[in-house]
């Protein structure tokens, strides 16, 4: 295949790697690889296919070059990012946008295309000199399915390459089978850890940049190692997919996929759910006794008139803090097994075991962690005491290791039929634990678009601040918020059996300031939603939806938790607080005005009508409406 870069490609690859690349007969892949070989200037390039031999070679190189180290259990490894490279870099994660589109994206940390492109090209020039680069082929979603998005990763980090093989489906064979009309349609990711310091970590963090070009489906990520910044198919790909889905009429959402299991009825009901950080997303996806399909990102498509979803990923890049035998028994059990897991930014003790915050196991007083050689009480350059592990420390693991995986749904090329959508926020005094929306549009505008997460004085010094998080997706929405919201409405209304939408709030506090229910109460709220989908429970109306009746919750608490549920708790938890809801809707309006002044007027009109409806209810029933009192 003759391309502009054929000579340099051949000169930097073994004949075997070149054969793998040229066998694809894909000019766009060759041009992508050739351009960045010339520009980033690696000494050599290794091309991976789907073989176990190539996957093992990546594992071996990550160890031999010191990017990972073996733990006591030989199939487990540990990786450390730089002390100051421990989370997503929001300030330097930017969209590079053509001038004519810039105004609509300015609130989303966008930069003019030419300026951003020139900057990232300057930073990445010769950045791989002295290193080997790795080329990999993956699929977002199952391969050879209606959901598949092919992806090419070009990186100089063997740790990143290893992580990708755990987290995503290898898709070299999928690329081999692409039709001519499909060969230009794939996502591209170029990453470099950059110059490394004596610890093998990125040295030039001041030049850390993650620039997203959704117009051409390419992401440039330079001078970083933390997987949230470096692993292309994670949140970088999500931003590309959100824009692509908006253009093509499907959805990419920051959601888990799970199945509620009713053993008595031999029934499985698929739910998806979006929750801002620290609002219960992972714990809901992993409710004991239910089944999980995916924990983070879902694609939705209309397949023969049905609302169907796939888990985009093959593995879990999970926060490990507070994962312990009591609260997360399934995950904890797997982290104790000799199977392929990468721990990042935790402590490796003298016994070569991993230790993390909230593990429930006493950690040693010394070892190696993200700070370097560590001992209890050690302080960093700013005088801050360094903990055993970082609060954002992670584990990278195959999802199909979990006993509670729903294998049927996980492997389904046409996805699973979704019957319920959960949107969960965090507030202490407004939103009831579970409420059903009367229809899809109402659910998007009153449940999804109004999502908030409340801060506490213990963490941020300002109690009760509500951070807006529409669809729990604001960090990743890659085109104007109003248009994105309208696309959510249009998609749900386009299918025959539109899923029911429910809101969740696990964090209502009582008059004494304590949480009203246990962590496991979410199982009750889930199974009430399941019962509503299957027409098994009646409900009371509120100005914003439908809530459970007391007698049904009494039965569900007894059935699933073996607990009593008092009438006083019920009436407090499910009271409708009119002024609080009006304030919530006013905050939502202000946020949309700030983020997207071009938000369609019909969205604001809908919220205004909801506010007037609540005001009328307040005049008739008082500021707090007891369950069952409101008559629509």
Q: How far apart, in whole angstroms, are the C-alpha atoms of residue 252 and residue 298?
A: 6
Same domain flag for 310 and 208 = no
> What's the per-residue H, E or C state across 233-246?
HHHHHHHHHHHHHH
Same domain flag for 240 and 257 = no
pLDDT at 281: 92
pLDDT at 458: 38
Q: Taking all residues of the chain, what is their mean pLDDT, rounded to a whole number? A: 95
Residues 492-505: tens digit of each pLDDT:
999 999 999 999 99
Residues 552-599: tens digit of each pLDDT:
999 999 999 999 999 999 999 999 999 999 999 999 999 999 999 999
Same domain flag for 310 and 322 = no
pLDDT bucket at 278, cuts 50 / 70 / 90: confident
Domain range holding 412? 253-315+408-573
Which residues 6+ apart lie within 8 Å of 476 measured at CB? 235, 238, 239, 242, 254
Same domain flag for 511 and 567 = yes
Q: For residue 464, is pLDDT > 80? A: no
Give the chain's radius of gyration (CA, Å): 25
Tokens of 113: 């295309």
The enclosing H or E element of 500 equals strand 500-505
Residue with tokens 């690349």: 21
Same domain flag for 424 and 544 = yes
Flag whether 74 is in a domain.
Answer: no
Same domain flag for 339 and 454 = no
Q: How far apart, in whole angstroms, are the C-alpha atoms of residue 472 and residue 481?
A: 12
The four Cα atoms 330, 163, 60, 367 give a dihedral, to 10 degrees, of -60
Flag whether 323 is in a domain.
Answer: yes
Q: What is the mean pLDDT of residues 254-283?
A: 95
CATH code at 152? 3.40.449.10
Same domain flag for 486 and 501 = yes
Same domain flag for 62 and 103 = yes
Q: For residue 463, is pLDDT > 80? A: no
In contact, 360 and 326? CB cutoff 8 Å: yes
Which residues 6+ apart lie within 8 Å of 331 measured at CB? 286, 318, 323, 395, 402
Which residues 6+ apart lie within 8 Å of 434 measured at CB? 502, 503, 504, 525, 528, 529, 547, 548
Global pTM exceeds 0.85: yes
Q: For residue 380, is pLDDT > 90? A: yes
Residues 158-197: tens digit of each pLDDT:
999 999 999 999 999 999 999 999 999 999 999 999 999 9
pLDDT at 597: 92
Same domain flag for 212 and 290 = no
Same domain flag for 115 and 241 = yes
pLDDT at 454: 87
Active site residues: 279
Q: What is the mean pLDDT of residues 535-543?
A: 98
pLDDT at 616: 98
């Amino acid at each position: 295949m003759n391309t502009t870069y054929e000579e340099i490609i051949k000169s930097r690859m073994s004949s075997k790697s070149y054969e793998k690349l040229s066998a694809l007969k894909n000019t766009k892949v060759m041009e992508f690889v050739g351009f960045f070989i010339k520009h980033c200037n690696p000494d050599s390039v290794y091309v991976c296919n789907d073989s176990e031999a190539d996957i093992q070679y990546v594992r071996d190189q990550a160890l031999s070059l010191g990017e990972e180290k073996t733990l006591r259990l030989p199939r487990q490894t540990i990786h450390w990012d730089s002390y100051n490279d421990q989370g997503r870099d929001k300030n330097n994660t930017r969209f590079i946008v053509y001038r004519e589109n810039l105004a609509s994206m300015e609130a989303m940390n966008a930069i003019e295309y030419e300026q951003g492109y020139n900057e990232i090209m300057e930073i990445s020039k010769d950045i791989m000199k002295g290193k080997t680069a790795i080329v990999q082929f993956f699929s977002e979603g199952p391969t050879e399915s209606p959901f598949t998005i092919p992806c090419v990763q070009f990186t100089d980090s063997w740790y990143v390459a290893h992580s990708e093989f755990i987290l995503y489906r290898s898709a070299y064979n999928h690329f081999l089978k692409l039709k001519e009309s499909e060969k230009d349609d794939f996502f591209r990711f170029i990453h470099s850890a950059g110059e490394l310091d004596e610890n093998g970590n990125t040295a030039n963090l001041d030049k850390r940049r993650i620039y997203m070009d959704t117009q051409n489906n390419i992401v440039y990520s330079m001078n970083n190692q933390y997987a949230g910044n470096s692993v292309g198919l994670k949140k970088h790909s999500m931003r590309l997919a959100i824009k692509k889905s908006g253009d093509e009429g499907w959805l990419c959402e920051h959601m888990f996929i799970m199945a509620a299991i009713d053993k008595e009825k031999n029934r499985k009901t698929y739910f998806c759910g979006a929750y801002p950080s620290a609002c219960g997303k992972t714990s809901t996806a992993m409710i004991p006794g239910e089944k999980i399909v995916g924990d983070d990102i879902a694609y939705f498509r209309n397949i023969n008139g049905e609302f169907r979803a796939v888990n985009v990923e093959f593995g879990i890049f999970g926060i490990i803090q507070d994962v312990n035998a009591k609260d997360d028994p399934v995950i904890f059990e797997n982290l104790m097994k000799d199977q392929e897991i990468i721990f990042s930014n935790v402590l490796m003790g003298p016994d070569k075991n991993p230790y993390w915050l909230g593990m429930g196991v006493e950690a040693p007083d010394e070892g190696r962690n993200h700070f370097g050689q560590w001992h209890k009480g050690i302080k960093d350059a700013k005088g801050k005491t360094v903990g055993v592990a970082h609060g954002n420390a992670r584990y990278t693991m195959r999802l199909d290791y979990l006993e509670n995986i729903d294998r049927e749904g996980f492997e389904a090329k046409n996805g699973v039929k979704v019957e319920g959508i959960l949107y969960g926020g965090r507030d202490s005094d407004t939103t009831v634990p579970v409420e059903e929306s009367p229809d899809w549009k109402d659910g998007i505008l009153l449940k999804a678009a109004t999502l908030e997460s409340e801060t506490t004085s213990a963490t941020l010094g300002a109690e009760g601040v509500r951070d807006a998080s529409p669809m729990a997706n604001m960090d990743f929405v890659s085109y104007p918020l109003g248009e994105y919201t309208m696309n959510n409405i249009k998609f749900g209304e386009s299918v025959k059996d539109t899923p029911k939408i429910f809101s969740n709030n696990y964090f209502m506090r009582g008059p004494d300031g304590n949480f009203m229910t246990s962590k496991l109460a979410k199982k009750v709220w889930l199974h009430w939603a399941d019962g509503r989908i299957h027409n098994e429970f009646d409900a009371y109306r509120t100005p914003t939806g439908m809530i459970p009746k007391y007698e049904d919750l009494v039965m569900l608490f007894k059935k699933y938790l073996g607990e009593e549920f008092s009438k006083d708790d019920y009436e407090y938890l499910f009271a409708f607080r009119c002024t609080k809801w009006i304030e919530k809707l006013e905050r939502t309006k202000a946020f949309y005005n700030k983020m997207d002044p071009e938000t369609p007027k019909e969205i604001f009109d809908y919220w205004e009508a909801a506010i007037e409806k609540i005001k009328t209810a307040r005049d008739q029933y008082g500021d707090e409406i007891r369950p069952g009192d409101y008559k629509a």
